[in-house]
Amino acid sequence: MRRVVFNQKGGVGKSTIVCNLAAISASEGLRTLVVDLDAQGNSTQYLMGARAGEASPSAANFFEASLAYSFKPVDLASFIHPTPFENLDVMPAHADLDALHGKLESRYKIYKLRDALIELEATYDAIYIDTPPALNFYTRSALIAVERCLIPFDCDDFSRRALYTLLDNVKEIQQDHNDALEVEGIVINQFQPRASLPAKLVEELVTEGLPVLESRLSSSVKIRESHQHAMPMIHLDPRHKLSQEYLALHRELAG
């Protein structure tokens, strides 16, 4: 199973959701890989903590190698590193992803990630891709490389308007490049059930027929502690409300 968490809007919870779902997947015994395509490296940092800086070669080296792919097949395993968590590996991000972007786009390497992930499916039961807040070469590569797309929504009115453009963009990729791509749904993040505006926004999405998932993720300051300690919620505090909500989301996505 290959899944991307995508929203071109920044700060909606992509990295946090990728890492928490991947940590649950791994804790349930599935061999799980996180591919971090965001030069900010938030998922890499979250899962590897102090060791994030040593994680080399990275996703940037993978794409760099893909520029010369026809001459030298790349050894995919060399770009993947273990995390402190059992069954959970990461292909780390690197700041060089930004510098490589233009070259990759002009050389039309958009299918290289898909080919690599299909090869890696022999080793991993679940692959999660974290993406940057943009519709660029990396997010397009990811949308082409996966079977499922999960869209976080942060209960903000600007995000609501952007959702329609986002769904159109995904549809275009489905039509032009990846007919196996399925939008799993919109996951409501940082939900505050007692505030009236978020509840109203979510209700509108449902009324408009958008694929809103049942699971809601609450807003909690515990997430900061989780990032700071580089411990996904399931490891930091498995009984916490938010941990239970990530578990419920993981179950909902598994069907």
Q: Tell me which residues touch ligand ATP (CB under 6 A).
A: 10-16, 38, 40, 42, 133, 189-190, 217, 219-220, 223-224, 227, 242
Residues 6 or more apart from 211 whose CB is under 8 A from it?
183, 184, 185, 186
According to the binding rule CB under 5 A, does residue 250 interact with Mg ion? no
* Cα(17)–Cα(37) distance, integer angstroms: 15
Please name the amino acid found at residue 101.
Answer: H
Partner touching 215 among Mg ion, ligand ATP, none, CB below 5 to 8 Å by kind = none
Which two structure tokens, joined as six digits, stand for 248?
């419920």
Q: Judged by CB, which is closer to Mg ion: 65, or 137? A: 137
Shortest distance, position 40 Cβ to ligand ATP, whole Å: 6
Q: Is 136 helix (H, G, I), strand (E, B) or coil?
A: coil
Residue type, 162: A
Q: Is the separation of the CB atoms in 138 and 97 below 8 Å? A: yes
State which H helix or E strand residue 213 sits in.
strand 212-218
The tokens 């995508």 sit on which residue? 6
Out of ligand ATP, Mg ion, none, what residue 13 binds, judged by CB under 5 to 8 A for its kind, is ligand ATP
Residues 34, 22 contacting (CB under 8 angstroms) = yes
Nearer to Mg ion, 65 or 88 (CB): 88
Q: Residue 15 interacts with Mg ion (CB under 5 A)?
A: yes
Cα–Cα distance measured from residue 208 to residue 204, given in angstroms and rounded to the nearest whole number: 6
- List 89's β-bridge partners, or say none: 33, 82
Q: Which of 2, 3, 9, 14 binds Mg ion (CB under 5 A)?
A: 14
Whose Cβ is closer to ligand ATP: residue 65's or residue 202's? 202
Give 19 or 100: the residue with its C-beta nearer to ligand ATP: 19
**Candidate ranges 10-18, 58-66, 93-101, 245-253; the one touching Mg ion (CB under 5 A):** 10-18
From residue 16 to residue 55, what is the string marking binding to Mg ion with x (rule CB under 5 A)? --------------------------x-------------
Kindly report whether the peptide bond that precedes residue 57 is cis, defined as omega within 30 degrees of 0.
yes
- Residue 223 beta carbon to ligand ATP: minimum distance, rounded to whole angstroms: 4
Q: Which residue is nearest to Mg ion (CB)?
A: 15
- Is 226 near Mg ion (CB under 5 A)? no
In terms of residues, how long is the chain? 255
Tell me which residues touch Mg ion (CB under 5 A): 14-15, 42
